[in-house]
Structure formats: structure tokens, C-alpha cells
Chains A and B, each alone.
Chain A
Amino acid sequence: MTFSLERPETVGEAIRILSDPSYAPAVPLAGGTDLLLDVDEGRIPARTVVSLARLPWRTLHWEGDTLVVGATLPFAKLPAEAGVRTRLPGLVDAVEAVGSLALRHRATLGGNLGRAAPASDVLPILLAVGAVVRLVSASGEREVPIGQFVRGSRETSLARAELIESVAIPSAPRSAYVWQRVRPANDVSQVGVAVAWAGAPGAWQVALGGVLPTPVRVAEAEAQLPNDPPTAAEIDLAARAAAAGAAFTTDKRATESYRRRLVSTLVRRGFARAMAAGGVP
């Protein structure tokens, strides 16, 4: 498929192009590491590709205890930023699980969210820490909790001509993301598990990736964790509850029964890793 490339310099211009029928179908482009392949194969119809590279969104800053990541910041920039490794260790685990370093030099958090892949390594930790997606469109700005933002496999609640501007990620010094793959390096995770302490009793949050069409929080598991720190027995109950959930996917990467096994193991390991991360903001 061939397409025209637009490289707007302002958010307004980007939104105008995306809403203008004469450019349709038009898709926004962040790093392009995932999108361009789908455009090439015709899986995403695109007459116009709107590059967001010139927009002022290659940013990263703290708003109090919340890390705000601009939509077009390449993943590779994230772990190096002061404080991220200690205040959001689970996010660093997840970001470093994405592709190779060269890929992370271009791939972005905004792009990953916009593509909403079932096996995204980043979505589970965003769910577990309760991230909020900040969107912008012609009708203004709005904030959508990550759990509502992802609607299905490759499906988001983005309206037409609406863009992800940034993601607000509450810090979680005790958080972790752990995964299992056929090949450890540079593979798609069969299962990913994120756990995070959200700062209040009863607020351990657990999210799973790769097991359903979208990453999910597992309330059944979280309900087993009233105390902080949780006991080994509580974690064990949570692991079992997480693995007992709805029908998991069977596909070329893993069978459902193996995924259940992995979920229960990885929930335990996720807690071990999150508690070891320790630290107080």
C-alpha cells in the first residue's frame, strides 16, 4: 500500500488533517515500528499517514507523584530518566521487555497504547498502577483510565481524529512486570503479569497480559490480598485466583492450560520481585 505522509508541526494541524475527509483514511504515526507493517500488508487502510514526530510530545516529567510520558517519547528514553527506575520499577521491567534496543529507539508508549496489542508488555503494568491516558481532539482534552481506554484486541476508545497526548502513570515503588516466552530475548510474551502496590491497604493490584484479547486486571486475585505486606499464603491464593479466571487464549504461542500454569507462577514471582524492589517514594 502506498500512502502520503503528512508531518504537521502543531497538534491543531494534526487533528485537522485527521478529521479532513479528503485525507481519509488517515492514521497517526508515532514510532511506526508496528503500524507501518500493518499498513504495508493492507491490514490497516491508510491513504494518509500523519507523523506526530514534530509535535512537542517527546517529553517526560513528574507531576508530583505521577510520571507523565509524552505520547511520542521513544521507549529507550524512559528507563534512563531520573527516578523512574526507583519509583516505577515495574514500568522499567515492561519497557525493557519491548523488542530490541534499536526498536526501542523509535517505538513509543503512545504508539503501543494506540495499537492495543493483546500481548503488549506495557499495558499490564499501566493497568496495575492505574495509569490515565490523556487524549486531545478538536473538542478538547479528556482523560480516560487505561482500563477503559483499551476496548479489545487492537481496539481503543480513541474517537476519530483524537490523539493520545500523554500517559499519566502514578508512581509505584513496589511494582514489577514479569513474563514468560519461548525464547527469552526479543519474543512475544506468552503471559505477562504486572503487580503493583497502589499505596493503600488492600490496594495490591494485579494485571495479566497475553491471556485474553486484552490485558486485564484480576479483581478475584486482588481480593485475596487485604494486607500489606501480603503473606505467602495470601499470594498463593491470589495466584490461584488469577489462574482460575475466564477462558484463556489457546494460540500458536501457548495453550490455555499452559497459560494458566504460567499465570499462577508469574503472579508469585511478580510479588517476589515487587517486594524486593522495596523503596518508599
Chain B
Amino acid sequence: MTGPVALVVNGVPAPATDVPDDERLLDTLRWRLGRKGTKEGCRTGDCGACTVLVDGETTLSCLTLTHEVAGAAITTIEGIADDGLGRRVQSAFAEEDALQCGYCTPGFIVAVTGVLAELGPNATRESILDALQGNLCRCTGYLAIQRAVERVRGGTP
């Protein structure tokens, strides 16, 4: 079966037609809507490269059926800087060398933005790291990512 889906991506209606019932949000974003900033990783929910926000919540787009998120507000890396927090996270990743090959970067930036918003300003460092353990990075060793998170939070990196 296929059918139309009325997606809202980065605040803009992004209607898609003929979306197969079993299609994942990841594939709809990348191949149907041409938003390839969201990266395809493991497709089993274990690497976090495909993280997007659905109604503000970090979501693994590889495990999400597109039809299930019709009408929800979807934020991808392409739209993350539309919001002040996302913009700060994005520039902190650049300033702290929190990216190397860059493949985990879009998912990580989206995840950090979602997690900081969800956990709020009083979250402990430990709870933030715990919330990010589903995002794998093989290049940086994560310490630069931790410094980027601290930079956004205004603490000492």
C-alpha cells in the first residue's frame, strides 16, 4: 500500500505522495524530500545518526514509520538553526571541534538540542551524557562533544 502523507518538516508543510506504508521517516526525508542532512547509519536504532525531533522529542527516524508521524512537527538538521538553542549547539560543535568525519554530526547536533530542551537548564551533566549514549561517534572520542555541550550550557568546558 502507498498513500499521501502531510508532513511538516522544519515548520514548512512537506506533503509527500505515494509513500509506502512500510517506509521509514529516514527514507522519506532523504530520498523523497531530498533532505539528506539526516544520515543513514545502522537502521536498527543503535547509532543515532538518523536522529530528528518529532514534536520536540529526539526520535530515531530509522525506526519510525512515516505514516505514523503525519501532522507532527519534524525538525531535521536543516532546520535546527531556526531555533536559538539549535543554532548555539550547531556553532558550539564547530567551535569545539566536536566533529571530524561529520557523519554522526547532524544526528548528534539534533540530539543535543532535543536533550537540552527536554532536560532543561538544571539538568546534571551526568543525566545529559546518559541521554546522549545512543548517539555514537567513532572519531572524536566524545570529549569535544562534551565540551560543546558545556559551552552551550555556559559552564566550564
Contacts and interface: CB of A to CB of B under 8 A. Distances in A.
A and B touch in the complex (CB under 8 A): yes
Contacts of B118: 101
Interface in B107-133: 111, 114-115, 118, 130-133
Interface in A61-115: 76, 96, 99-103, 105-106
A5 B1 contact: yes
A4 interface: yes
Interface of B: 1, 20-22, 44-46, 48, 51, 54, 57-60, 63-65, 67-68, 111, 114-115, 118, 130-135
Given A7-B67, A51-B68, A186-B46, A106 B60 contact: yes
A4 B51 CA distance: 25
A2 interface: yes
A105 B118 CA distance: 11
Contacts of B46: 186
Interface in A1-52: 1-5, 7, 29, 32-33, 36-37, 39, 49, 51
Nearest to B44: A37
Contacts of A99: 45, 134
Contacts of B21: 2-5, 49
Contacts of B68: 5, 7, 32, 51, 53
The B contact surface, by secondary structure, is: mixed
B147 to A, nearest CB: 19
A185 interface: yes
Contact of B60 (A2, A7, A33, A96): A33
Contacts of B44: 37
A43 to B, nearest CB: 13
A2 B20 contact: yes
Query: A29, A33, A51, A100: which has the most chain B beta carbons within 10 Å?
Result: A100
Contacts of A102: 45, 48, 51, 57-60, 111, 114, 134
Of B44, B54, B115, B134, chain A has the most CB atoms within 10 Å of the CB of B134
Contacts of A29: 65
Nearest to B119: A101
Given A3-B21, A32-B64, A106 B133 contact: no
A57 to B, nearest CB: 15
A105 B58 contact: yes
Interface size class of A (residues with CB under 8 A): 20 to 34
Contacts of A37: 44-45, 63
A37 B43 CA distance: 9
Contacts of B22: 1-3, 5, 39, 49
Contacts of A49: 21-22, 65
B57 A105 contact: yes
Nearest to A36: B63
A154 B133 CA distance: 27
Nearest to A5: B21
A185 B142 CA distance: 14
Contact of B63 (A4, A32, A76, A96): A32
Give 9 nearest A-B pairs by CB, closest first. Answer: A100-B134, A5-B21, A185-B133, A102-B58, A101-B131, A4-B1, A105-B57, A33-B63, A186-B133
Nearest to A51: B68
Nearest to B55: A105
A33 B44 CA distance: 8
